Amino acid sequence: MALRKLVAGNWKMHGLSADLEEIRTIAEASRAYPTVDVALCVPAILIERAARAVPGFAIGGQDVHQAEKGAHTGCTSALMLLDSGASLTIVGHSERREAQRENDGEVKAKAESALGVGLTVILCVGESLEVRERGAAVATVIAQLDASIPHESTEEAELAVAYEPIWAIGTGKIPTVGEIAEMHSAIREQLVHRYGAAGNQVRILYGGSVKASNAGEIFSIADVNGALVGGASLKAADFIPIVAAAALV
Ligand code: PEP
């Protein structure tokens, strides 16, 4: 059976109280596409207000600390995200892997911590342009995936993997259909290798310059089970057509 598509927006460091109205518009418009799971991952400080503004709509975080609690100034635990009203979180986004130097082991611990409290996890992997150009993209991403994904996937545990080529994020460049197909198929194979049949239930999202004009083609690729959307998720006018494209496949 085909997996339900998941279209998640990553608002990054965007979003003030004034933007709650846009979140309401997105949540309301998403209801026209009940076959698609739609979510917005907003700054941690906005989660509680966003979740209150749109009851029943999935609001998520963009990162989580792996520890339950403790001396970790400025960090947010999985339980804190849940307590604020989040139902999911991104982990291992390339911007954090680069700027905060997060490694695969930390990303894995973050994913396990979030799954442990019942949050859905969107775990990001992806190669740099240099790696793509020297023909090592698949091997690099699979090694990254293998080192970052949790030990076990249980039925309760909701894990999604987002393939986000770093060179495609915010650049307007996207891989070819063949390149996306090759990577998603390799990720699926690795998930089945790790989790057995349960690996077929893990959604694999594509992320990197997804917009209304390319979403339909991307969603029609085998093993593309949704998208992680940055810039085009900030406005309902840009984001909802992507959700609509997911509903058509
Ligand atoms: C992202 O940062 O997760 C992302 C996919 O960004 P964009 O859609 O803007 O390329």
Dist CA 172 CA 180 (whole Å): 15
> Does the annotation count 151 as an active-site position?
no
pLDDT of 155: 53
At 249 the pLDDT is 87
- pLDDT of residue 170 exceeding 90, the answer is yes
The pLDDT > 70 percentage for the chain reads: 98
φ and ψ at residue 84, rounded to 5 degrees? -80, -10
pLDDT at 99 over 80: yes
Distance CA 173, CA 15 (A): 25
Instruction: Assess whether pLDDT exceeds 90 at residue 154.
Output: no
C-alpha separations of 244 from 89, 160, 171 in Å: 23, 20, 23
Whose structure tokens read 């969603």? 219
Q: Does the pLDDT at position 157 exceed 90?
A: no
193 has catalytic annotation: no
In which element (H, E) is residue 59 found?
strand 58-61
Residue 39 and residue 58: Cα distance in Å, rounded?
A: 5
232-243: pLDDT as tens digits: 999 999 999 999
**Consecutive H or E run containing 85:** none
Catalytic choice (22, 65, 93, 106): 93
The span from the CA of 128 to the CA of 119, in Å, is: 28
Q: What is the pLDDT of residues 177-190, one digit of tens each?
A: 999 999 999 999 99
Poorest-pLDDT segment among 3-17, 34-48, 110-124, 152-166:
152-166
Q: How far apart are CA 118 and CA 19, in angstroms?
A: 27
Let me know the angle formed at the C-alpha of 175 by 136 and 245, rounded to the nearest 5 degrees: 140
Q: Ligand 1: which atom is nearest the Cα of residue 164?
A: 5
Ligand 1-lining residues (CB < 6 angstroms) = 10, 164, 169-170, 207-210, 228-232
Least confident of 67-81, 101-115, 145-159, 208-222: 145-159
User: Which pLDDT score, from 0 to 100, does residue 153 have?
Assistant: 60
Position 2 scores a pLDDT of 86
pTM of the model as a whole: 0.97
Distance 22 CA to ligand 1 centre (A): 18
**pLDDT above 80 for 152:** no
Structure tokens at 153: 């996937």
The predicted-structure confidence for 39-86, as pLDDT tens digits, reads as follows: 999 999 999 999 999 999 999 999 999 999 999 999 999 999 999 999
